[in-house]
Homo-oligomer: A and B are copies of this chain.
Amino acid sequence: MAVELKDLTKADENYSQWYNDLVVKSGLAENSAVRGCMVIKPYGYAIWEKMHEVLDGMFKETGHQNAYFPLFIPKSFFSKEAHHVEGFAKECAVVTHYRLKNDPEGKGIVVDPDAKLEEELIVRPTSETIIWNTYRNWINSYRDLPILCNQWANVVRWEMRTRLFLRTAEFLWQEGHTAHETREEAIEEATRMINVYKKFAEEWMCLPVIVGHKSPNERFAGAEDTLTIEALMQDGKALQSGTSHFLGQNFAKAFDVKFANREGKLEYVWATSWGVSTRLMGALIMAHSDNNGLVIPPKLAPVQVVLIPIYKGEEQLAAARERLNAIADGMRAAGLRVKIDDRDNVRAGFKFAEYELKGVPVRLALGQRDLENGTIELVRRDTLEKETVPQEGIVERVTGLMDEIQHNIFRKALEYRDSMITKVDTWDEFVDVLENKGGFISAHWDGTVETEVAIKEATKATIRCIPLDAEEEEGKCVFTGKPSHRRVLFARSY
């Protein structure tokens, strides 16, 4: 299908439409026939797959194993943890029947009223309840601890307003669920995993993030503490990119999971859970892309280098192909992910635009003069800089460029992010920065839920996090003037 670049909305004209255009036209994903559910297309899935692979490796290095728990959760499970029910059991897909039958009136198929479930099943919005119900049978003594499980799965939350990758009714994610002997060990685990997410976001996605605690109002339903990584998008809005929860003994109590400790006494188990989802795809796209299309960090790019022949007629094509094949072989041997595009039904200019749209980090074009001169044209996607370079040493040069581009994309995002953290000490400033600049606002807050809610109602800004590295600093709440001991980060967010 033809890529119609002319239809790509400009980011500064309509950021939201630019994002949607990018996702659809670059072939990452599209809406499906089912409201709120997306189709992740091969190009998008290839990036997610790479994320999955890298994260999975990081989980295993930190001692975790994968397992798989049921898609369905009995309705009654949601009532067992008091806070969890408020946060999770509401907007969700409910299975009430288990059979269809031919319509007696001959109009297709209908739900068989005789096949009604005794207890409705909920399509998991998250799996704490079913997993802690299972852990009860796995845990007897401290010797059975810790349990360090992760699950890669689909989950469903019946969101009213959906956006590809950022907020969809069904999405893919991983959810880690761990069980521990002590409070300290569980807190250590929750901290370890938010740092794994930070490392992944920064080193693989080129996404600088701030690690911090959620305020009580923004905490996960059922958690004692929620750690988050918060990223900044190019429109100045924040995006929560991953969370790690210290669940205390809440789920152990709700599902009666006790263990005999080292003194032989029965005690409730301590828990964490942590997850990232296909939402990371949204963060990746929004953080780096431009009006020409996606900018994919080399480490996650399904195609890192595309090679395109410029030619007239079969003979020139054959010569260019031969040279490009040799170059591609060398690059593959060096571990680069390479594609040659020698389609003869579209012009080279069309291909250039297409790979810019798809965010391929490096493009090489080989014309007849290059063949004669032993040169090749090289264009970096991140800077769009073009230069003609010798074919000799091209593998080393491009390999080096991968690192350079990876660092450059991160550096650019970091500079932008840092320029968008504004210290504010008065309410007028707060409103002014929010309206005219955006980004994170570092301000004092009196620590109450009432103030947080009032600020949200007044401005749509929420506390994104209380940064882990927030320094003690006496000040006055930007909204109430009451005393505060440290600054927190506010922002409007996705």
Q: Which A residues are closer than 8 A to B by beta carbons? A: 1, 30, 32-34, 37-42, 45-46, 48-49, 65-79, 85, 89-101, 108-109, 111, 120-123, 130, 133-134, 137-138, 140, 143-144, 149, 153-154, 156, 158, 170, 172, 345
Contact = CB atoms under 8 A, between A and B. Distances in A.
A69 B39 contact: yes
Contacts of A95: 93-96, 123
Contact of A170 (B72, B75, B91, B170): B72
B67 A42 contact: yes
Nearest to A43: B65
A32 B134 CA distance: 7
Given A39-B69, A42-B65, A100-B78, A120 B130 contact: no
B42 A1 contact: no
Contact of A99 (B67, B74, B91, B101): B91
Contacts of A46: 65-66
A121 B158 contact: no
Contact of A94 (B1, B79, B89, B96): B96
Given A74-B34, A109-B75, A170-B72, A67 B39 contact: yes
Contacts of A42: 65-67, 149
Contacts of A73: 34
A1 B45 contact: no
A1 B41 CA distance: 43
A70 B32 contact: yes
B91 A108 contact: no
The prevalent SS among residues of A at the interface is: mixed
A153 B37 CA distance: 15
A45 B71 contact: no
A74 B34 CA distance: 7
A100 B75 contact: yes
Contacts of A97: 93-94, 96
Contacts of A67: 39-42, 45
A32 B154 CA distance: 18
Nearest to A141: B1
A94 B109 CA distance: 12
B66 A49 contact: yes
Contacts of A130: 32-34
Given A33-B130, A89-B100, 9 more contacts: A33-B74, A33-B77, A34-B72, A42-B67, A46-B65, A71-B154, A71-B170, A79-B108, A93-B95
Contacts of A122: 100
Which 5 pairs show the lowest CB-CB distances between chains A and B?
A37-B70, A42-B65, A79-B108, A40-B68, A94-B97
A109 B129 CA distance: 15
